[in-house]
Structure 1
Amino acid sequence: MVAPSVPHSSPARGRGDRPEGTVTRGTTGTNRLRRMDRWIAHALGPALRSAERPPTAVDLGYGAAPWTAVELSARLRAVRPDVRTVGVEIEPERVAAALPYAEPPLLTFRRGGFEVPLDGGEGALLIRVANVLRQYEEAAVGPVWERLCGRLAPGGLLVEGTCDEIGRRHVWVALGPEGPRTVTFAARLTGLDRPSELAERLPKALIHHNVPGRPVHAFLTDLDRAWSAAAPYGAFGARQRWIATCRSVSGSWPVVDARGRWRQGELTVEWSALAP
């Protein structure tokens, strides 16, 4: 994916009508962010349905093709039909290429960066940033999070994370206006040898801290241990083994979801337990 990139240790500031950031890689693909979208639709469902006015969602840095914004729009509209999704890209050519897929006012595309250009300075109920910040220096992540959280509407959510090329393995951080809240691990369970394989998809804020003595390493170690102990459940399928694994680690880690989400191949933990 592509999005505004921080070339050094802090986000570039826009000057005049120049978006904040620079162009990064633009690779993307259809259905790549389905696991993240599914979680977002669940987590934001109450806020989407209860909003008095049509809420706005932003796909920040959708890439060289608009598929992720198109899919996000469709998935959110299944929850709230009048939700307005805005795909934001920093490169004008990518915005132009996306325009034939627009469905105003429900799906639009515009040029922009971390300033998140919305009409009238409107706040977004959702800002999604996928496969972007892993391309930055770690020192840039905190300032970018703070900048984007400042563009959220009350009750809004910033979701930032990384997945593999076809969306089988994904890890993301969810943040509210006050900062990070949770970390979610999501995977296609068939073919998963051990949960710690998700470590290669940790967001930039965590990936360099997956070393002995750090919380995220301890968590993944415990997850592998529980997965191994749950091997007998594999006779009933990978899903049942994952559910048993999640149940086990929930006894010693602050897991915030339950069986309904575990069945989806997800596990969500409080950010404070894994924070560097």
Structure 2
Amino acid sequence: MRGRTSEGRLQALDAYLLHHERPLLTRQDGDWARAVFVDVGLGEQPWTTLESARAFREVNAALRVVGVEADPARVASARVHADALTDFREGGFTLPLRPDETVRLIRATNLLRGYRAEDVPGVHQVLGERLLEGGLLVEGSTDTSGAVGVSHLLRRTGSGLAREALLFHTDFSRGFAPVLFRDWLPRDFRRRVKPGEPIHDFFVYWTEAWSAARAGGHVSPPEAFRHSLQGLSRRVEGLVLEPWLLDHGYALWRPTGGVFG
């Protein structure tokens, strides 16, 4: 379970979702009218859940938010902040949802770092069971301040839960080099950055592109980031080079057929 989550730690994820997943946050037709956002793992205080609720309600004022935590004391403390649209419930990966609730978005960040890598796909499946088709599960890790993070983006499709993309983010406060992300990869990739693994090749190519960018005079962290991704895109399929993403420190890798397992 999450420990002392600092305020603002997940604001970069909020910003990405508001920019790239606004239709998911605002959709109101059919079952989507009662579809909630679920934040799994509150930490000692529910700051990140409350921050996300405020941010997402700027585009969907009626959005219901459910914070889920396994520790009863933390749930009791969080309930001080509950209101008509915000609820806090005791539970785990099998989400404690009401029969009439559907789910549009689930976030489970900084929860699985202590789990075995082979257990991660099963946790994803359990978490994603209640997602509406088209709904999204975000699962990954950040550093303690939220300056650096990497997340799985898993989409509910008609045939199941698809590993749609990996999302990397840095705010450049720690500089930039691709190696910065290695310690914050999702749990199932963290020990796989080694020869013979696709994620190893990804980082080798990105590091080579970063070195070439710096040799070409693009030495500031934002410039090196942008130009390294442009170089990487010539060797790796599926990088999304949208200007807003690059300008704000996001690397979105969405390979055809999904992210390898």
CA displacement at 1:139 relative to structure 2: 1.8
Does 1:261 pair with 2:245? yes
Paired position in structure 1 for 2:12: 35
Q: How does 1:1-276 map to 2 (within 5 A)?
A: 2=1, 25-52=2-29, 53-105=33-85, 107-120=86-99, 122-177=101-156, 178-231=161-214, 232-234=216-218, 237-253=220-236, 254-270=238-254, 275-276=260-261
Amino acid at match of 1:199: R
**Contact 2:165/2:258, CA 8 A, preserved across alignment:** no
Report how many residues are paired.
Answer: 251
CA distance in 2, matches of 1:82, 1:233: 48
Corresponding residue of 1:15: none
Report the residue type matching 2:185 in the other structure: L
- Deviating beyond 6 angstroms after TM superposition, the runs of 4 or more aligned structure 1 residues are none
Contact (CA 8 Å) 2:140, 2:152: kept in 1 or not?
Answer: yes
Once the two structures are TM-superposed, the CA of residue 219 in structure 1 deviates from its matched residue by: 0.8
State the AA in 2 paired with 1:30.
E
Whichever residue aligns with residue 81 of structure 2, its letter is Y
Q: Could you say what the CA RMSD is over the residues aligned between the two structures, in angstroms?
A: 1.8
> Given the superposition, is the C-alpha separation of residues 234 and 256 from structure 1 closer, same or farther in structure 2, using an over 3 Å criterion?
closer
Tell me the CA shift for residue 193 of structure 1: 4.2
CA distance in 2, matches of 1:44, 1:225: 31
Deviation at 1:72, TM superposition (A): 1.1
Q: Secondary structure at the match of 2:239?
A: coil
Unpaired runs of 5+ residues, structure 1, are 3-24
Paired residue secondary structure (1:204) = coil
Kept in 1, the 8 Å contact 2:34–2:102? The answer is no
Q: Secondary structure at the match of 2:188?
A: helix
**Partner SS state of residue 174, structure 1:** strand
SS of residue paired to 1:87: strand
Once the two structures are superposed, what CA deviation does each residue of 1:126-166 show, in whole Å capped at 9, x if it has no partner? 01000001111112111111111211122210000000010
C-alpha displacement of 1:257? 4.5
Q: How far, CA to CA, are the matches of 2:6 and 2:12 in structure 1?
A: 14
Query: What is the distance in 1 between the residues matched to 2:258 and 2:132?
Result: 26
Contact residue 57 and residue 125 of structure 1 kept, 8 A? yes
1:219 and 1:274 in contact (8 A); partners too: no
TM-score (norm 2): 0.90
Structure 2, unaligned stretches of length 5 or more?
none
Counterpart residue number, 1:9: none
- Aligned-residue sequence identity (percent) comes to 31
Cα separation, partners in 2 of 1:193 and 1:176, compared to 1, 3 Å: closer
Residue 5 of structure 2 aligns with an amino acid whose one-letter code is T
TM-superposed CA distance for 1:36, in Å, is 1.5
Letter in 1 for 2:232: V
Instruction: Give CA deviations for 1:83-132 in whole Å, capped at 9, x if unaligned.
Output: 11110011110001111112222x21111111111221522100100000
**Match of 2:248, SS?**
coil
The answer to whether the Cα contact below 8 Å between 1:48 and 1:55 also exists between their aligned partners in 2 is: no
> Can you list the C-alpha shifts for 1:149-208, whole angstroms capped at 9, x where unaligned?
211122210000000010111000000122211001111224324112210001111111
